[in-house]
Each structure stands twice: as structure tokens, then as C-alpha cells.
Amino acid sequence: MELFIAKTAGFCFGVRRSVDMAMHLCETGPCVSLGMLIHNEDVVRWLGEKGMRTVEDVRQIHSGDRVLIRAHGALSEDLAKLAAMDTEIHDATCPRVRHIHDIVKKASEEGRPVIIIGMKNHPEVEAIRSRCAEGIILENARETEEWLSAHPEAAEKKICVVAQTTQTQKNYQECADLIKKICTNAEISDTICFATSTRQKEAWDLSLKCDAMIVIGGKHSANSLHLAEICMQNCDNVQFVECASDLDLSRFDRVSRVGLTAGASTPAWIIKEVVNKMSDEFKATENLEETPVAEEAEVKAEAPAAEAPAETEEKELSFDEMLEETLKTIYNGEKVTGTVVSITGTEVSVDLGAKYSGFIPTSEFTDSGVKVEDAVHVGDEIEAIVVRVNDIEGTAMLSKRRLDAAKAWTEVEEAVDSNAVMEGYVTEENKGGVVVNVNGVRVFVPASQTDLPREAELSQLLHKNVRLRITEVNRGRKRVVGSIRRVAQAERREKIEALWNEMEIGKHYHGVVKSLTSYGAFVDIGGVDGMVHVSELSWGRIHQPSEVVSVGDEVDVYVINFDREKRKISLGYKDPNANPWVMFMDRFNVGDTAEVKIVKLMSFGAFAEVLPGVDGLIHISQIADHRIEKPEDVLRVGDVVQAKITAIDEEKHKISLSIRALLNEARVAPAEPEEPAEDDGEDALVFEVSEKGNISGDAAAFQE
């Protein structure tokens, strides 16, 4: 017979922690457990022999008693009574359960109802509900559906949903899916313990490949009962026992493959008793199960029987070692490996596979500005150094940072020879440079190696991730020197070469104006500077590049020409689609009259702006209809005059203008006949002539 044993069978870290706390209390005197410490009568009986009394009601506890709160937690009202009685309270509540307490307490403070997916009357579930103003316990999908139908108002509420830590993933998911469909604002937290999920997966995989299954656990243990339920879905021959004496050996006749798992409250010695009984009765070969999937199980079933003994011997030894370490002690400075089981705002809880509950401060994961939920996840395997052990509380403070730093020292030493690029986080600025944290190792970067200009403030590097090379390591003095500049220079060289290799005329780049001169602007297009001539900055007439751009401006430019050997690039900035010459040709023809502005006077004539960016020449002979000595005799810069377009050179973009042509046209134009004015008699001279011929009145005066 082959006996396959689940790797995670037995105590979880929460149970180990509570049992260890009970042992320490018993060593210093009698104590009281409020309720069964764990759901295993053998363990409770054994602790009772050592001086731990178990009571079911807080009224059975007296003032001054040393009280141990079991792994499942206690009702909030019972804790209040114990505090009022002046008892000495030692809280062994599983950190995973305490995390659920925090979730529901916060929800209740916000006025939100809480749904707990779990077993009614179970101590863990009742302790959770005691912290809710409005707590509803639902055991399965049927109850969930009935409750949702009876409470249609729940659809609009922001319900908080949690699960008992030992729930099956299948049952939880069915309930959660129903709630999601109706209560769209619900906040659902998967609070099933990671250790529980792992045990359930192992039980499922084992039951698929075995002819019979043994599940060891207390009859009141929820997680053990769930393991049995899971096994029954795949295997018809399942025995749920509390100890070796409960085994019905007759059910193993003609069975060749037996799987064994155990609940989180089952101690190692009970598992060993069951294994020994099976081995003695059936000459069973023990195999420590490595959580195979169904496909792996099929492969093992087909393996030759002759190969089994060698593999069995090694795995049996591993299992014995695991049993011996169930309540092992750890020491300060020891390197440990564990599994992350919960994450809170202040600490990351780690299952060490020992009697201690390990925790790492979240600050170790958030020093570089990273969120703790992005740096570590429930289920992750993690290595750390033991910093401090608290035997009374059964906790061990761990440091991942210290272990990482030890590894990092080796890495930085190797990086000097390999010239490897490393990444770090700038933590501080000092007189001569900055300090970079490289995986926990302080690396000093002198100011000259920061790749900043000499006058720049080093503080601009603070709290930024940087890439650097290690240039010097002295482990004895704990001195490490690095250079950001070397990495930056190498990256710039690579970037520049890539840019030159891809460059072509007409290609567009987004760049930054680095400097200005009287003849143009220099633009950085990615590590390479190109020049935009002043004539390429604007279609209009400008005197200085600063009229268009400033240092630091981000601009879009294109390549007009380049010389790869001389490393020179001519860039264009003005938009070809806004070419004023094209606009001029669309608007004017030879013979048209245009209103122009005098922009420059020369000895041979005057230049006039027809449109912004388009100038024409008025020759000195075309300025007036008579001979002039110089253009200044008639025109001034800034004058706006009418001129006739007399010629256009499309190829050379030249325009000839004439004011004289318009003056001549005005002179030769025929004058329009004037209509005789109407005589109103106002200006007439009045003559009075006598019979003798004498003139008198106005006419006489006129004659005089």
C-alpha cells in the first residue's frame, strides 16, 4: 500500500502560536482558557494536565485570573467584562481572524451592514459578529439567495462581506457571486486563510488519485469538516477520525493508494500515530505529498513499483523532520522562510511553520514610496532574519530588509568586477553628494558623479529611482561608492548613435530649445543638438530668434539637412503648410493693386510687405511720377501705400511693385463733364440804367 501524506497536514501557524502561548503561561502558573483553545480534545486535555482550565462562560472567571483568549477570538462584550474584572488577558487570537475584526469594525462605524459567510454558532463567526452593529451570518448559497430575496433594500446598500477563515473556496465563491449580482455596491473581502486554501487544494488533489482518504481532525473543527466534505466529492471511501483508535481498518482491504490529511488543529503526534498504525497493519509505504495536480497523480500511478522505495525513504525522513519542528524554537539572527498569510496597515504576518507568528513591519516594503500591496501579496514565500523573539506572546519580529542587505553586499561586490548596472533609491543629500539605497546597502554618489550640472541643486534627486554603477566597495568599512554619471553617459551614447542611424531628411522630432544666438536657435532632439536658422523660425520678418522661441521651450522640428561625419543638423521649425508665398499666389495676380507696408529703404528703391512673409521691391524709378534723388524723399519706413503688381517671378519668389503706374493711370483717365451749377441769384450784380443811360446801384460801385 502507498500512503500519501499532505504536505501541510497539521497545525497552522495560528494554532501553533496559541498552543505555544498556553504552554508558556502554564509554565509560570495556572491559567484559564475562555472556550476550547483549539478544536482538539487531546491538546486541550494535555494542556489541562499542565494547569490550563477551560471554561465556556466568562462568569466562571475570577478577578486576577490569567486568561488566554483562544485562536478563534472572543466576543467583544466578554473582553469588556474581563477588562472590568481586572484580569490578566493574553490574546492568542489568530492574526488572520483579528484582521477580519478590523474590517467589520470599520464597516460598522461607517453604518454599513456586514454579511459573514460561515458556520452559525461557530466561535470564530460569533466573535466576528459581536463586532458588528448589524451582522448577518449566511452558511451557503441557498441561505444567501433567500436572504437577498427577503431584503430587496440591500441592493442599494454598501454591504461589507467577509468569510470565516476556514470556509471552502467553492462555498464562499458561490455566495459572493450571488451578492455581487444584486448588491453592486458591496465590498467583498476574501478572508479565507491562505493555509486553509492550501490544505483544501491538497485534499482535492489527493482524493482524485487515491482509493481511500483519511481526514484527521476534531469533530468540532470547521476546517477539518470541510476537508472531509471536499474529499467525499472525489472519493467514496473517506474516514473522518480524531485519532488512530477511530480508524476502521476493514475499510482498507484491497486498497492500494491511501491519502492522508489533517485539519489545522491536529497536532503532529496524532498524525504520526495514524501513520504508524497504517504502516504496521498494511506495510504501507509513506510518501510526503507535494501537492500534485491530477495529471501528476496519473503519472505516479503508472510509475514502476520498484522505483518507489528509494523515493519513499527520502520523503519519510522529510516528514519526520517536519513533525519534530512543529513546535520548534527560533533564535535572534536566524534566517527563516515563511508564507505571507495576511497584510495590515502596519505589519505583514508570516507563517513560519513553527510555534511563532512572524511579522514584518510594512515600512520595510514602503521605504521607496511603493505601496505594500504592490510589494508583497498573501501567499508569497518570503525569506527574512529573526530580529526579536517574544516567547510570552509567541511572536517573532522579522526583517526582510536585513536579509536583503546581506545579499545586496554580495551583489555590489560582484558588480564592481562585472561593471553591472544597479538600481537604487535616493534617500538623502549630504555635503559632498547623495546617498542611494541599493537593496538595503548605502551607496555614496559624489556630486561630480550625479550627472547634474555643477550649479544644480542635489535635492532634485531626492526620493527618485536611479541607475548607477558601483565603483568602489570596502565591506570592512561599510563603504560603497557609485556613479550615476557613468550609466547616464553610456545610455546617452547609445541613444545618440541610434538617433544618427535612424536620421533622414524630413523626419520630425520633438525637442527642447537649449540656447539662442543672433543667427538661430539650437534644439536638443534627444541627445543631439540641431540648429534652426533664424530664417527657418518664422515665415514673417523677425530680428531675433527670441521673438519666436525661448530657452527651455518644447518644439516640434524637422530635418532639413544633416552631415553625419561632421555631426551637424539643420532643422526647420516653421510650418510648410502656412507658406505665405502659396497664400500670395492664391490671392494676387500681375496687374492687381495691393495695399503694402514699407519695411526697408535702399538706395535703389524700397521693400514693401505685401503679406506677412512676402515682400516686393518698388524700384526708385517706380516710386513717383517725377525724378527723385532717393526713396527717402517720398517714403518713410512704416508707410502704407497702394502699389500695382507689375511682375512676379515664381521660381525666385520675387515681386515687382509700382506706385508710379497707379499715378500715371490716374492722370490719363478722362475727366467727367461737370454739370452747370444752378443760379440762385445770390452772387448776381444788379444794374439800374436811367433813361439818360446812367448806371446806378451795385453796378456803379463795380464800375468804379
As annotated, the active-site residues are: 124
- 647 phi and psi, to 5 degrees? -160, 150
Helix (H) or strand (E) holding 512: strand 508-517
The total of other beta-carbon atoms located within 10 Å of residue 567's CB is 12
- 576 phi and psi, to 5 degrees? -60, -25
> What is the distance between the terminal CA atoms of the chain, rounded to a whole angstrom?
164
Smallest Cα–Cα separation from 39: which of 207, 165, 189? Answer: 165
Q: Could you give the 3-state DSSP secondary structure of residue 640? A: strand
Indicate the residue type of 435.
V
Indicate the residue type of 528.
V
Indicate the residue type of 270.
I
Distance of alpha carbon 380 from alpha carbon 413, whole angstroms: 28
For β-strands 554-563 and 568-572, DSSP reports them as antiparallel
Strands (E), 62-163: 66-69, 88-91, 114-117, 135-138, 160-163
Q: For the chain, give the number of residues.
A: 704
DSSP notation for 663-684: HHHHHHSPPPPPPPPP--STTP
Q: What is the DSSP letter of 623?
A: S
* Residue 524 exposed, middle or buried by CB count within 10 Å (0-12, 13-18, 19+): middle
For β-strands 614-619 and 212-216, DSSP reports them as unpaired
The residue with cell 513717383 is 624
Dihedral, CA of residue 310, residue 312, residue 317 and residue 318, to nearest 10: 110
522: which strand partners? 515, 531
Q: How far is CA 8 from the centre of its chain?
A: 33
Question: In this structure, is the dihedral angle defined by the CA atoms of residues 438, 441, 442 and 443, taken in order, positive or negative?
Answer: negative
Q: Are 477 and 468 in contact (CB under 8 A)?
A: no
Residue 174: all three cell numbers together? 458561490
- 360 phi and psi, to 5 degrees? -120, 130
Dmax (CA) for the chain in angstroms is 183
Distance of alpha carbon 483 from alpha carbon 470, whole angstroms: 6
Residue 521, CB-side half-sphere exposure with 13 Å CA sphere: 31
The residue with cell 440804367 is 689
* Residue 622 exposed, middle or buried by CB count within 10 Å (0-12, 13-18, 19+): buried
Q: Are 655 and 580 in contact (CB under 8 A)?
A: no
